[in-house]
Amino acid sequence: MGTNIDEFYDKSTASSQNVNNNISSDNKYSQNQNFSGNIDSDLQQLKEILGGSTDIIYREFQFGNIRKAVLIFIDGFVDTNSIDTNVLQPLINYRGELIRDRNIFISEMANFIQSQIITVSSVNTSNNIQDTVDNVVSGNCALLIDGEKHPLIIDLKKFDKRSVEEPRVEAIVRGPREGFTENLSTNIILVRRRLKTPKLKVDTSSYGRLSKTSVSILYIEGVAKDTLIQEVKKRISEIDVDVMHGSAMIEEIIEDDRFSIFSQFGVTERPDRFASNLSEGHVGIIVDGTPMALLAPGTFIDTMKATEDYYDRYILSSLLSIMRYIFLFMSIFLPGFYIALVSFHQGMIPRPLLLTIAASREGVPFPSFVELFIMQIFFEGLQEASTRLPRIAGQTVSIVGGLAIGQAAIQAGIVSASTVVVVTVTGISTFVIPRQSLVASVRILRFPMLFLASVLGLYGIFIGTFFTLIHMAKLRSFGIPFLSPIAPLKLRDLKDSFVRSPWWTMTFRPDFVENKNSKRMKKNSRSNSSKYNN
């Protein structure tokens, strides 16, 4: 079986290389071909590569009334006012003596234009034709001047983007109301506002042969472990695709166990949580075009932490955390327990409750398992439909619609009232889970538990739980056990796991992340306030 999988990936790799070769061979010009310095020839090459796209502008003009020049950019991708004011006007109106000498060195001309003519903060030189094309399609301007073999790349990108808004998935009552957007630069700024240190490093590269999507890797130097940083960079650098669709694609490709239902990354749209995890030694990944950022390594305990836990009092946060674990247990096992007790272990149900359940099932044509399975599928469909509707309408459909249809099903004798109660409580329990990545895993895991309970009763649930725990214990996220700090047990890290200890007790960063600097707070940082307690 392993050989077949290896052969499959070998064939996939070969196919990917063939596709890459086909894409690269669409143009007769080599990717590393340099410019000739003849503007007519160079411009013709660029036009053949860029094709007949009507939104690509070729603005030809005379530089200082001596040399022919052309500015290339994509309409709607750049700030045309800045082009007119800071680039075209200074170049067209220049009347200096320097450009009259046609034997001037290329580097001198490029430096002269950057430093004394155009008034733009970000200007670089291009090395070859492919580099120039990549910059143009990425939103930069390319300036070609007759006689120059190195065009100037001018960064004047400007396009419509969503403003910073409150996170929709991870909304909280107390705390900042800022969430990531689809713009990479904006997201990095949101992180830097919270970590004003030169130790915060950002490594940005482009991936995708067609999309050229920018992906940034963020970490704090001296805190994140070097081996973790290098492993994250290595795995991402090995991605070879046509289009990089977003962070979810990276997550699925580079995680340790690709066939697990559990995500091995932390996923967040909150810059405060992202920055907090970086300060603990995690490595972050932000992808241009998506507001969801990734954090490595990811653990089960992290998926059960709510951002609001760190803004509320530790007593309240701890109680809410314990409550979430109770509801997590109910979300996975409640339907299975109901089927097991009703079908196999009726003696474990108190007699009054058993009589009530029996009375509610009178006249129902389906077995308990069938009616619960039908209602569970219906509820999942209702949840899925609510996500496709506008936000307010979706909430109404998921809550009011579920209650109305459930009541109608009871009156029609299709399902029993007890089944509707079980499905409703299970659905509400799912909403308590703070991370959507874990919610998806729970929704999947619920059905195997339901099937095992319908066949083997409570023994089936115990068997399913046993194998699930074994699978979770075997999972690794960049070498870190998924069940850390429970398995292996790290007592010091339990201060911020099932409960949230007071801040003054958490003087060390989590050990399981294997950071380089474990201490994050002075041990006696609270001692100065003791004199006011007398």
Residue by residue, DSSP assigns 354-422 as HHHHHHHTTT--S-HHHHHHHHHHHHHHHHHHHHHS-HHHHHHIIIIIHHHHHHHHHHTTSS-HHHHHH
Residue 190's SS3 state is helix
pLDDT, residue 97, reads: 58
Q: Which residue has the higher pLDDT, 450 or 525?
A: 450
pLDDT, residue 441, reads: 92
pLDDT, residue 236, reads: 94
Q: Is the pLDDT of residue 2 over 80?
A: no
pLDDT, residue 217, reads: 95
Beta pairing partners, 215: 205, 287
Tell whether pTM > 0.75: yes
Identify the weakest region by mean pLDDT among 16-20, 93-97, 121-125, 491-495.
16-20
Confidence of residue 275 (pLDDT cuts 50, 70, 90): very high
User: Tens digits of per-residue pLDDT, 446-470?
Assistant: 999 999 999 999 999 999 999 999 9
Q: Is the pLDDT of residue 16 over 70?
A: no
Number of H helices, E strands in the chain: 19, 12
Looking at mean pLDDT, say which of 327-331, 379-383, 503-507 comes out highest: 327-331
Report which residue type is found at 151: P
CB under 8 Å to 273, separation ≥6 — which residues?
Answer: 170, 307
Q: Is the pLDDT of residue 400 over 90?
A: no
Report which residue type is found at 92: I
Looking at mean pLDDT, say which of 17-26, 231-240, 362-371 comes out highest: 231-240
Question: How many angstroms separate the CA atoms of 288 and 498, rounded?
Answer: 34
Identify the weakest region by mean pLDDT among 65-69, 127-131, 180-184, 239-243.
65-69
Give the DSSP letter of residue 197: S
Question: How many angstroms separate the CA atoms of 509 and 507, rounded?
Answer: 7
- What percentage of the chain reaches a pLDDT higher than 90? 36
> Rounded to the nearest 10 degrees, how much is the dihedral formed by the CA atoms of 457, 458, 463, 467?
120
Q: Is the pLDDT of residue 248 over 50?
A: yes
pLDDT, residue 14, reads: 46
Q: Please identify which residue in the block is written with the tokens 């320097």.
A: 98
Confidence of residue 214 (pLDDT cuts 50, 70, 90): very high
Confidence of residue 20 (pLDDT cuts 50, 70, 90): very low
Q: Is the pLDDT of residue 4 over 50?
A: no
Q: Is the pLDDT of residue 12 over 50?
A: no
Integer CA distances (angstroms), 172 to 63, 167, 259, 280, 386, in order: 56, 9, 32, 22, 21
Q: 374, 357, 194: which is closest to 268 by C-alpha?
A: 194
Confidence of residue 393 (pLDDT cuts 50, 70, 90): low
Torsion sign (Cα): 249, 255, 260, 266: negative
Identify the weakest region by mean pLDDT among 466-475, 491-500, 507-516.
507-516
H or E element at residue 200: strand 200-207
pLDDT, residue 5, reads: 38
User: Tens digits of per-residue pLDDT, 295-337?
Assistant: 999 999 999 998 888 888 889 989 999 999 999 999 999 999 9
Confidence of residue 80 (pLDDT cuts 50, 70, 90): confident
Torsion sign (Cα): 454, 456, 462, 468: negative
Q: Mean of the per-residue pLDDT values for the chain?
A: 83
pLDDT, residue 108, reads: 65
pLDDT, residue 391, reads: 65
Contacts 24+ apart (CB under 8 A), 137-141: 137/50, 137/74, 137/212, 138/206, 138/212, 139/74, 139/77, 139/78, 140/73, 140/78, 141/71, 141/72, 141/73, 141/78, 141/83, 141/87
Give the DSSP letter of residue 149: S
Q: 191, 200, 208: which is closest to 244 by C-alpha?
A: 208
Q: Is the pLDDT of residue 25 over 60?
A: no
Question: How many angstroms separate the CA atoms of 525 and 527, rounded?
Answer: 6
Confidence of residue 6 (pLDDT cuts 50, 70, 90): very low
Report which residue type is found at 435: R
Q: Which residue has the higher pLDDT, 486 or 7?
A: 486
Q: 282, 320, 321, 318: which is closest to 298 by C-alpha?
A: 282
Question: How many angstroms separate the CA atoms of 126 and 134, rounded?
Answer: 10
Mean pLDDT of 233-241: 93
Integer CA distances (angstroms), 237 to 17, 192, 204, 284, in order: 15, 24, 11, 15
Q: Please identify which residue in the block is written with the tokens 């069938």.
A: 370
Contact 425, 338 (CB under 8 A): no
Question: How many angstroms separate the CA atoms of 289 and 215, rounded?
Answer: 10
Mean pLDDT of 269-275: 93
Confidence of residue 1 (pLDDT cuts 50, 70, 90): very low
Confidence of residue 21 (pLDDT cuts 50, 70, 90): very low
Contact 57, 74 (CB under 8 A): yes
Q: Read off the tokens for 130.
A: 């492919």
Query: Would you kindly state where each structural domain of the chain is located, as residue ranges?
Result: 39-154, 184-298, 313-481
Q: Please identify which residue in the block is written with the tokens 């995708």.
A: 208
